[in-house]
């Protein structure tokens, strides 16, 4: 029974000592320790939040870069395509034009040739007629140097001409 | 009693620990009860024998009495026994109707001599200070009037523990001031997880957002009990006292818990006690039950801590006593192996009891300050 009976001395000293301990620890230990732990936890939390934000920002930037790259690539492809189309159209146009031009030139040349040919032919004709006239003149002159021959000729001509 | 809060307990692992603790309590209290009955029955015989041959028998070859040895250790003492016949005398402070007496317990010479102080003559009987009358006999009527405020072994051991606690935590607090915002180091990193454990696993889940106000008390109780428990396990001088296994100390601690719980009890707490939510004809019964609950909760705290620590000390001492009972060294290895096992277990119990006391204190505070919306 003695074991389970509180004694006044120990009760008194425990109460005094415990209250002193509580006050001393509260003032000199728990307050600074808990405050420091709380502060550190907050700073860690803050740092983690910031890191998370930075991560998101990073992801956002990466996504943005990706988007930009994609856009740039699309732009490039578009430009290339346009350039190619333009080139094709230019080449085509040039070809067509050249073709047309050539055709026109050929046409012109043909006309020219035709003209030249006509002129040449005309000239040839006139020269041929002149020449033949001259030849005829000369032949006639040589033929008709004497009267006898002229007579002959007239006679032959007259022979040919049959009076029908 | 409102048990719903206990069952609605949020943290599962605490339930596991709690269950383990209850299991352990039943085991250890069973052991304690057995030991106690044995002790009590043997004690009466021993006391009789002791009283018969107390004076004049001297220091002969005495029969070994394990019960006496164990009970001497478990109980408080006016000297701190070191080894052999060597003990540290402790100051005796008596409040007598005639005035305050202050002298050293060394004057009793281990209870063999009477000491005549300025007011009375005192004799140490069974480690209790009694007044000796003019006829040379103990004057029981006068003895019952003196109040013994001596610095006994338990008080001294408690002061040692308090010194240890103050040194540890004030130096740790210094480290926090010196290393602001840095990672903990050394003793700091040993203590910090425990402080955070008390805050996050004991205070927060049970008390909620109002926990900050009660943190100093919870932390102080936790470390006070724990350090005292651990120091009690050390067999040599500054430790070894059965401080937390003394009902006076556990009485004071649970009294503080009761005061704190009831001072901070809000209107819901008091309504729950005096106007419980039951049909009106049950009120007389329920009010009595609730009022008993107010007292029985800290009472359970008191007995639990006392019984667990005392039981541990009794078991360890009993195992050591086996060597002397059998009077052979052959039993020593067995004893030492068992004591080693028990010591390791007691190391766990030392922590567990500090934890349970703090946890239940937090739980009771939480029930008292809980807001019902």
State how far the alpha carbon of A20 is from the alpha carbons of A16, B110, B191, B227, in Å. Answer: 6, 32, 21, 16
Is there a contact between B154 and A28 if contact means CB atoms under 8 Å apart? no
Q: How far is A65 from chain B (nearest CA, A)?
A: 37
What whole-number percentage of chain B has pLDDT above 90? Answer: 40
Q: Would you say residue B16 has pLDDT above 80? A: no
Digit-coded pLDDT (tens) for B232-276: 998 888 888 889 999 999 999 999 999 999 999 888 888 888 888
Contacts of B152 in chain A (CB under 8 A): 9-10
Q: What are phi and psi of B116, to 5 degrees?
A: -100, 110
What whole-number percentage of chain A has pLDDT above 90? Answer: 43
Contacts of A31 in chain B (CB under 8 A): 216
pLDDT band per the 50, 70, 90 thresholds, residue B39: very low
Q: Would you say residue B108 has pLDDT above 90? A: no
End-to-end CA distance of chain B: 20
pLDDT band per the 50, 70, 90 thresholds, residue B50: very low
Is there a contact between B158 and A14 if contact means CB atoms under 8 Å apart? yes
Which among A13, A18, A39 has the least Cβ separation from residue B256? A18
Contacts of B74 in chain A (CB under 8 A): 3
Q: Is B113 helix (H, G, I), strand (E, B) or coil?
A: coil
Q: Would you say residue B52 has pLDDT above 60? A: no
Which pLDDT value is given to residue B51? Answer: 38
Is there a contact between A26 and B220 if contact means CB atoms under 8 Å apart? yes
Q: Mean pLDDT throughout B102-127?
A: 83
* Mean pLDDT for chain B overall: 82
Specify the range with the lowest mean pLDDT, choosing from A78-87, B28-37, B270-279, B344-353.
B28-37
Digit-coded pLDDT (tens) for B279-305: 888 888 888 999 999 999 999 999 999
Q: What is the residue whose two structure tokens read 């540290």?
A: B88
pLDDT band per the 50, 70, 90 thresholds, residue B182: confident
Is there a contact between B192 and A37 if contact means CB atoms under 8 Å apart? yes
Which pLDDT value is given to residue B13? Answer: 54
Which residue of A lies nearest to B71 if distances are taken between CA atoms?
A3
Is there a contact between B249 and A14 if contact means CB atoms under 8 Å apart? yes
In the structure encoding, which two tokens stand for residue B50, read together? 């002791």
Which pLDDT value is given to residue B105? Answer: 86
Q: How far apart, in whole angstroms, are the C-alpha atoms of residue B204 and residue B8? A: 15
Partners of residue B102 on adjacent β-strands: B93
Which pLDDT value is given to residue B226? Answer: 95
Strand order in the sheet with B99-104: B99-104, B91-96, B147-148
Q: Would you say residue B357 has pLDDT above 60? A: yes
Which among A7, A18, A28 has the least Cβ separation from residue B76? A7
Q: How far apart, in whole angstroms, are the C-alpha atoms of residue B13 and residue B347? A: 20
Is there a contact between B253 and A21 if contact means CB atoms under 8 Å apart? no
Q: Mean pLDDT throughout B160-187?
A: 89
pLDDT band per the 50, 70, 90 thresholds, residue B142: confident
Which pLDDT value is given to residue B221? Answer: 95
Q: Mean pLDDT throughout B306-334?
A: 90
In terms of pLDDT, which residue wins out, B7 or A104? Answer: A104
Digit-coded pLDDT (tens) for A92-117: 988 898 888 888 888 988 898 888 88
Look up the ipTM and state it. 0.78
Strand order in the sheet with B115-116: B115-116, B121-125, B128-132
In the structure encoding, which two tokens stand for residue A43, read together? 């700073």
Do residues B247 and A6 touch, judged by C-beta distance below 8 A?
A: yes
Which pLDDT value is given to residue B100? Answer: 87
Which among A2, A12, A18 has the least Cβ separation from residue B149? A12
Which residue of A lies nearest to B311 if distances are taken between CA atoms?
A3
Q: Would you say residue B186 has pLDDT above 70? A: yes
Digit-coded pLDDT (tens) for A21-31: 999 999 999 99
Q: Is B342 helix (H, G, I), strand (E, B) or coil?
A: helix
Taking residue A29's Cβ as centre, other Cβ atoms within 10 Å add up to: 27
Which residue of A lies nearest to B303 if distances are taken between CA atoms?
A4
Interface test with A, best of B149, B172, B184, B313 (most A CBs within 10 A): B149
Digit-coded pLDDT (tens) for A135-158: 888 877 777 777 887 788 788 888
In terms of pLDDT, which residue wins out, A124 or A162? Answer: A124
Contacts of B105 (CB under 8 A, 6+ apart): B78, B79, B89, B90, B91, B92, B124, B150
Which residue of B lies nearest to A33 if distances are taken between CA atoms?
B173
pLDDT band per the 50, 70, 90 thresholds, residue A1: low
Identify the burial level of A75 via C-beta atoms within 10 angstroms of its C-beta, where 0-12 means exposed, 13-18 middle and 19 or more buried. Answer: exposed
């Amino acid at each position: 029974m003695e074991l389970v009976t509180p004694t006044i001395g120990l009760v008194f000293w425990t109460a005094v000592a415990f209250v002193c301990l509580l006050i001393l620890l509260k003032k000199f230990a728990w307050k600074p320790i808990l405050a420091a732990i709380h502060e550190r936890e907050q700073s860690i939390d803050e740092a983690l939040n910031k890191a998370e934000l930075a991560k998101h920002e990073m992801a956002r930037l990466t996504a943005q870069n990706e988007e930009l790259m994609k856009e740039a690539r699309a732009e490039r492809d578009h430009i290339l395509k346009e350039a190619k189309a333009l080139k094709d159209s230019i080449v085509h146009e040039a070809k067509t034009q050249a073709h047309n031009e050539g055709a026109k030139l050929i046409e012109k040349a043909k006309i020219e040739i035709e003209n030249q040919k006509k002129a040449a032919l005309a000239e040839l004709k006139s020269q041929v007629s002149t020449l033949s006239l001259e030849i005829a003149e000369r032949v006639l002159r040589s033929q008709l140097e004497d009267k006898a021959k002229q007579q002959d000729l007239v006679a032959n001509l007259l022979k040919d001409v049959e009076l029908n | 009693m409102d048990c719903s809060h206990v069952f609605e307990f949020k943290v599962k692992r605490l339930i596991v620990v709690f269950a383990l603790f209850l299991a352990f309590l039943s085991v250890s209290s069973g052991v304690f009860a057995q030991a106690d009955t044995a002790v009590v029955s043997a004690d009466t015989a021993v006391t009789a024998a002791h009283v018969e041959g107390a004076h004049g028998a001297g220091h002969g070859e005495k029969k070994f009495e394990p019960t006496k040895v164990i009970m001497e250790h478990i109980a408080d003492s006016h000297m701190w026994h070191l080894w052999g016949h060597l003990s540290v005398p402790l100051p005796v402070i008596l409040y007598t109707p005639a005035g305050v007496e202050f002298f050293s317990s060394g004057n009793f010479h281990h209870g063999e001599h009477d000491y005549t102080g300025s007011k009375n003559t005192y004799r140490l009987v069974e480690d209790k200070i009694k007044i000796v009358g003019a006829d040379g006999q103990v004057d029981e009527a006068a003895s019952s009037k003196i109040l013994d405020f001596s610095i006994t072994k338990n008080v001294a051991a408690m002061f040692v523990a308090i010194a240890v606690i103050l040194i540890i935590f004030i130096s740790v607090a210094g480290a926090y001031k010196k290393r602001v915002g840095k990672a903990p180091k050394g003793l700091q990193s040993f203590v910090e997880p425990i402080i955070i454990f008390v805050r996050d696993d004991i205070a927060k889940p049970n008390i909620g957002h109002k926990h900050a106000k009660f943190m100093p008390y919870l932390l102080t109780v936790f470390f006070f009990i724990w350090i005292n428990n651990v120091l009690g396990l050390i067999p040599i001088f500054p430790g070894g006292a059965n401080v937390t296994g003394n009902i006076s100390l556990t009485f004071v601690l649970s009294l503080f818990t009761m005061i704190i719980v009831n001072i901070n009890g809000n209107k819901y707490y008091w309504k729950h006690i005096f106007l419980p939510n039951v049909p009106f004809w049950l009120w007389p019964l329920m009010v009595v039950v609730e009022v008993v609950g107010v007292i029985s909760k800290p009472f359970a705290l008191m007995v639990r801590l006392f019984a667990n620590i005392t039981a541990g000390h009794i078991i360890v001492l009993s195992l050591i006593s086996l060597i002397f009972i059998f009077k052979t060294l052959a039993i020593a290895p067995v004893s030492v192996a068992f004591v080693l096992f028990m010591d390791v277990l007691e190391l766990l119990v030392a922590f567990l009891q500090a934890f349970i006391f703090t946890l239940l204190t937090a739980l009771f505070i939480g029930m008292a300050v809980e807001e019902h919306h």
